[in-house]
Structure 1
């Protein structure tokens, strides 16, 4: 058997497989081919036709008077998968190239016309089969055609069936077809599965987007609710009431901005940046969260140094609103929330420290993942948005936490 399986045979298989890979590579990386079935069919004909040509150009030399090749494999593959049009084009290429290389032979015409007719008739049913059925059908059909055309050759001419002919023309091609069809079906299924995966990912993004909208809008609405409850529960001076109303309107406007950003799929960006006074921005966020903190028995301590960074005010406030709100929710029985900012040579360091329930090492490592939260009804989207905003403003972050001893979040931004 080793006499028949030589380098030329392996080269023929290499030509066929390479053409299949080239076809799927071009098809998968070009939207044009997927949207135009006719052009895709001609691409398939070109690839299989080229491998057919190479098989005939570099045949399998078994003996001085014995030359074979595996041209029938790309020919049958093209006809079964491409139908009568592809098969007819490949038949034309095969007969023309055969005449150029070896001269015209009537027996060759009869053999491959017979193969074409049978394969073209089987093609519609073959394309509807599943992968396992295609594998069995391709092997049986190739073997049947090899035996059938050999019988025709013996009947109409003085054809000698040698041992090498039986191996290379009758036995090896069915196994070659099995291998090639398996590769084709695997590549085709991979492309289909990736297309389905992209659709699933898009639906997941839509789901996350909807959940994120509701989560981010809840923050300003919670602030508005807190101020309204304060005004309702006690007699508030007119001046303070106006201040509360002003902040409430600003928060409603912020909620509207968040909705507009998400609906237009706006990602956090630094397109609109300006110098930000860190201490003033943090005071603004602390002032917004003061009513919620008081309602939960939490004292907020400020240790702020004046310092300036380059960033987006809306994003900065949203980021630290999320972080501080997480800290407040981590202290269900009250506690102390300490917010500090320190100006150093290499940047401005902001810390948010609470005396809450803390986190485990695993929870720290997953901080910022969507849908991961230490809260019973949390979504994790607030932390995810905060982390994204920090990175957008070229900041870095670090978390230190211990269960039962609170959490320290450290954020560093480059100075303006």
Structure 2
């Protein structure tokens, strides 16, 4: 490799390595600007870098050259948005038309085919494991290289040996570049998730210590005060006084519920674990919560086909699921429905709760379960903390997906007991 070729390669790699970090850092900013604005700005930044790649191509032999313009296009499309990818694609085609030459129509054909392929696979990209992401981007690079070969050999009647040499080097360099960039981005994302989880754990530890220290001391005078209020309300008093006393009782009950949540969060571990027949327990919970749902014009639908058994405490399991259902009901002020489904996946029980409520933004979804964060005006966030704590204590996981205005889905995974599962008669 001569000095000029090495220099051109380094320059191109510099241009394509910069945008992923810019995209990632910019996309993680917590500000009020819309995703569309972020996509447009990222698209402009990516377009500039694509043009720089094309301005400093890598020359192989004579006037035969290539550049890494497709890397920012692929990364912008996968890691930012379709809008970003389309902006970069349009800029790429406009810039290539400025340079002209017989290769313009080839560039238009190849990159048009590539962006169509990107549209088809983008929805699945984020859910893929990292090694499959590597494989997918390598296949896309191979697809692009094959199209270049076909166009230049069949349409332009170019020297096949030279074209194959250039495209093979393009495929190798671009595949390695994408591998390095995707690995770096995924590592940064993992580090960000670990940091966020550590931050959540620290906040949860503070709340837990606070709960353990003061909850019992506060609960005792609350219980005594509530008892005296109950005695006083039995006395013949003016209606307005009784109304005030009843309001005071309601507030005391609310305060006691908050304390109970603190106590549950401070001690989420199972004291007396036993076998829970989930279908039986869910029927009890739904029966208990149905009157509240009817008051809010919310329909509850429970479906299952097997008796699944997990290990836990009935009281804590009821508290956990009741919190989720109450939140779902309160997220539908104009009524709606909640679908509750149970299923078995290998050695796990899947409990899926879907509502048609107001939904959550990505930022709200990310903060779900944090101390003192709630989407409700008077919420404390303790209810969801308790839900997450109980599920963890049962050896399970909870995952939420949501879209603003369309509703929320909670998926709970719990390990099954090693018992024979019986079909419900």
Give the TM-score of the pair, scaled to structure 1.
Answer: 0.46
Larger radius of gyration: 1
